Amino acid sequence: MSVRTIGVVMNGVTGRMGYRQHLVRSVLAINEQGGVTLSDGDRVKLRPVLVGRSAGKLADIAARHAIPDFTTDLDAALADDDNLIYFDAQVTSARVKAVLKAIEAGKHIYAEKPTAESAQEALALAEAATAKGVKNGVVQDKLFLPGLLKLKRLIDGGFFGRILSVRGEFGYWVFEGDWQEAQRPSWNYRGEDGGGIVLDMFPHWHYVLENLFGRVESVYARAVTHIPSRVDEQGVTYQATADDAAYGVFELEGGVIAQINSSWTVRVNRDELVEFQVDGTHGSAVAGLRNCRVQHRSATPKPVWNPDLPVTARFRDDWQEVPDNMEFDNGFKIQWEAFVRHVLEDAPFPNDFASGARGVQLAELGLRSSAEGRRIEVPQL
């Protein structure tokens, strides 16, 4: 068994996702476990090369984790042939330019979602990567959440019979920033800076729906800005020009109807920050980030509507927890390992830029649907 090291240029590590999930919980965690194991038993460690626009912030992170390589010069990092992979977790609006540069430099590309702000640009990235012959992948972390893995297990095991509908509820209250600090970066609430819940969350819903239930054939959405002004990181009031809630209906192949609410203006009255209820002819399930509960047709109670009487049935007690049956690793790390194997030994990696572009397309069509007040067919890309 041999161990080798490859360089990974990581742009955006001073941000929330780039630092926590990608650098600490994925790349450094992979090295701590001894690297990515390839099919022949060899191991590959990752040498992060931190890139960003603030030398001070990069130096802090590098010192904290004893990382020798960091720079504000993306071109220099891309010019180094030992750096095989370029990873991007910058703000969405900065993604396309940097990724195109990295493709041009012949790097294999892994990027956060959404890959671009428009479907045209997202497609252009996919085409540029294909033309250059570089591997490409987009983060689709929700597929690896324990709750969704359990849901997939139920689907694969035929638990539902014919699936009829999916109801998704995502969101929580994001503070306005005046009397309590906002817990998400302010650019998310400015359209001109690449913000908006549709662009943020519809790419997630797209790959979840496509992978678990089938192709998304149409969308109807209403996107709104419920809170028109917020206060940013500097304490300055700004106009919230991006949508902070979206109410969407998606029709899937085979007639499944999915209805997903996404909101940063909702107070949580559910067990998890995202939950999907799936109803089928033979059974139903409610899956969250970690847990999944089911009710089989044979154990379905028969409620009778009678508002004259107090409710005595405890409907939630009639559901059964799906067991873990396995250890669940961090989903971002699992995807990093898969991408490294894809680059080095051509292992399958379905979450490519083409699938990323389909997600951006759904966001774009969702926004168009909202603006025009109509249901829109989703053309196959």
Ligand X SMILES: O=C1CO[C@H](CO)[C@@H](O)[C@@H]1O
Ligand Y SMILES: NC(=O)C1=CN([C@@H]2O[C@H](COP(=O)(O)OP(=O)(O)OC[C@H]3O[C@@H](n4cnc5c(N)ncnc54)[C@H](OP(=O)(O)O)[C@@H]3O)[C@@H](O)[C@H]2O)C=CC1
Using the minimum distance from each CB to ligand X, give the nearer residue, 204 or 293: 204
Cα–Cα distance, 261 to 185 (Å, whole number): 21
Cα–Cα distance, 335 to 317 (Å, whole number): 35
Position among 69, 193, 200, 244 found at the interface with ligand X (CB under 6 A): 200
Q: Shortest Cβ distance from residue 112 to ligand X (Å)?
A: 8
Judged by CB under 6 A, the number of residues near ligand X is: 2
Cα–Cα distance, 211 to 169 (Å, whole number): 18
Instruction: Indicate the residue whose CB is closest to ligand X.
Output: 200
Check binding of 92 to ligand Y (CB under 6 A): yes
Of 250, 208, 185, which Cα lies nearest the Cα of 12? 185
Position among 8, 14, 23, 349 found at the interface with ligand Y (CB under 6 A): 14
Question: Cα 39 vs. chain centroid, distance in angstroms?
Answer: 27
For 5, 23, 28, 234, 345, the CA distances from 36, given in Å and listed in that order, are 10, 15, 11, 41, 12
Side-chain half-sphere exposure of 38, counting CA atoms within 13 A: 17
315 and 8 Cβ atoms separated by less than 8 Å: no
Q: Shortest Cβ distance from residue 309 to ligand X (Å)?
A: 40
Residues 108-167 that bind ligand Y (CB under 6 A): 112-113, 139, 141
Of 13-21, 72-80, 284-292, 369-377, the segment contacting ligand Y by CB under 6 A is 13-21
- Residue 121 binds: one of ligand Y, ligand X, none (C-beta under 5 to 8 A by kind): none
DSSP H/E element including 258: strand 257-263
φ, ψ (nearest 5 deg) of residue 9: -80, 125
- Residue 89 binds: one of ligand Y, ligand X, none (C-beta under 5 to 8 A by kind): ligand Y
Position among 91, 124, 155, 249 found at the interface with ligand Y (CB under 6 A): 91
DSSP 8-class letter at 136? E
Using the minimum distance from each CB to ligand X, give the nearer residue, 36 or 197: 197
Check binding of 204 to ligand X (CB under 6 A): yes
Site residues for ligand Y per CB under 6 A: 12, 14-18, 52-54, 57, 89-92, 94, 112-113, 139, 141, 185, 200
Contacts with ligand X, residue ranges (CB under 6 A): 200, 204
